[in-house]
Amino acid sequence: MGPGWVMALLGRSLANGSDGEQATMDRRGFLRNILAAGAGAGLSCVATLLGGCAKRDEPVATSTAAGVTSTPTPATGDHEARFYRRLADDAVQCELCWRRCVVRPGELGFCYNRKNVDGTYYSVVYGRAAALQIDPIEKEPAFHVLPGGTIFCTGTASCNNRCRFCQNWHLSQQTTWQVRHYDRTPDEIVAQAQEGTAEAYVQRPDGSLGPFACDAVSFTYNEPTVFYEFMYDIAARAKEKGMWALLHTNGGMNREPMLELLGLMDAVTVDLKAFTDEFYSKVSSARLGPVLSTLETIRGAGKHLEIVNLVIPTLNDDLDDIRRMCAWIVTNLGGDVPLHFTRFFPAYKLQRLSPTPVETLEAAAQVADAEGVQYVYIGNTPGHRRNSTFCPRCGEMLISRMHFAVIKVSLDQGKCPVCGQEIPGIWWD
């Protein structure tokens, strides 16, 4: 048993006091802690899934595991896309994200996931999941949603951004015909989520694998916008079954599809990658403005919102920019929106940079404090005090965490047990 498991079990023991209450821990609570600890110990298995990915120029020709198939050429698509309009000469304009691609017959949009076939626009990834995995909800990150809960995550290939730092580039910067995938209907995915079976399991301390019944479905790993129709149908089925639904997005989706999707989502995590257009255009091939609009749309719809800012040395770690970002958040969204500063590690096309110094993250967090952001976290830094949630009024520790593992929850019906401050979020009680 590695140290992650020890910490989780020890933490649960602490959470339940030292009077033997640990024996009353139910199976679900036990599994939650095991799962979270597994993720904290690096046992969460994106790598397992990515083992099924082709190298960029290497076509995948054959199945290698049950249920895994390959698509050697772009699929013609069998599921009509939503949010597009027809133009002259059988061209279409996609209206799903800010790029608004104009796509001629036989061509794909910028994200490679939507294809014009004789004037009708299709999704080429509907039913083709490239990642199916169970994660702790803290990994979303969604620190104010069902602490210790489990999410069944679905991702596909490709993205509408081209981030040079992408940690999931094996999926997001590949096309659906370059990665192995699992053919699944929305009903099958929701059934898996309820049963808690995934292609990549989390290992228990005794060496056995899953299943874990999940509390929510989540759409993450690559940008869910580019598999909108698939995501929408999975979320709709999940809601029918009484599950929660979470979205992690780069914020590039247009307002109309986002509003419709929010009708199914309980909480949204948005990557606010920087606060300059220069960064967005040079590092992500994207734009800042649409992301800010999306944040306002989500907040305006009354959905729980959390923001992630990956701090990359030399590229977006200017404290004046971070100050402007925090001021914008407080003014336009409110000081009670949780903000996660996460640590960069070299990845994809930014191998030359060093990991973010913890001092940089701490300086950013102090700037956020000073600007009035009430819940400021430091992520990708296991064991940091700012992994945990504190009451903004009296300073009481409300949720103690070690990375993704929840050690102790002290909330009383969503309020601080000491001063009664209401804490925004979705809580168990």
Note the residues at the interface with ligand SF4 (CB under 6 A).
94, 96-97, 99-101, 109-111, 114, 160, 225-226
Nearer to ligand SF4, 90 or 412 (CB): 90
What minimum distance in Å lies between the beta carbon of 385 and ligand SF4? 40
**Nearest residue to ligand SF4, by Cβ distance, number only:** 109
Nearer to ligand SF4, 219 or 244 (CB): 219
What minimum distance in Å lies between the beta carbon of 122 and ligand SF4? 11
What minimum distance in Å lies between the beta carbon of 99 and ligand SF4? 4
Nearer to ligand SF4, 71 or 225 (CB): 225
What minimum distance in Å lies between the beta carbon of 110 and ligand SF4? 4
What minimum distance in Å lies between the beta carbon of 258 and ligand SF4? 12
What is the SS3 assignment for the chain?
CCHHHHHHHHHHHHHCCCCCHHHHCCHHHHHHHHHHHHHHCCCCCHHHHHCCECCCCCCCCCCCCCCEECCCCCCCCCEECCCEEECHHHCEEECCECCCCEECCCCECCCCCEEEECCEEEECCCCEECEEEEEEHHHCCCCCECCCCEEEEEECCCCCCCCCCCCCHHHHCCCCCCECEEECCHHHHHHHHHHCCCCECCECCCCCECCCCCCEEEECCCCHHHHHHHHHHHHHHHHHCCCEEEEEECCCECHHHHHHHHCCCCEEEEECCCCCHHHHHHHHCCCHHHHHHHHHHHHHCCCEEEEEEEECCCCCCCHHHHHHHHHHHHHHCCCCCCEEEEECCCCCCCCCCCCCCHHHHHHHHHHHHHHCCCCEEEECCCCCHHHCEECCCCCCEEEEEECCEEEEECCECCECCCCCCECCCECCC
Nearer to ligand SF4, 175 or 389 (CB): 175
What minimum distance in Å lies between the beta carbon of 84 and ligand SF4? 8
Nearer to ligand SF4, 225 or 249 (CB): 225
Nearer to ligand SF4, 160 or 380 (CB): 160
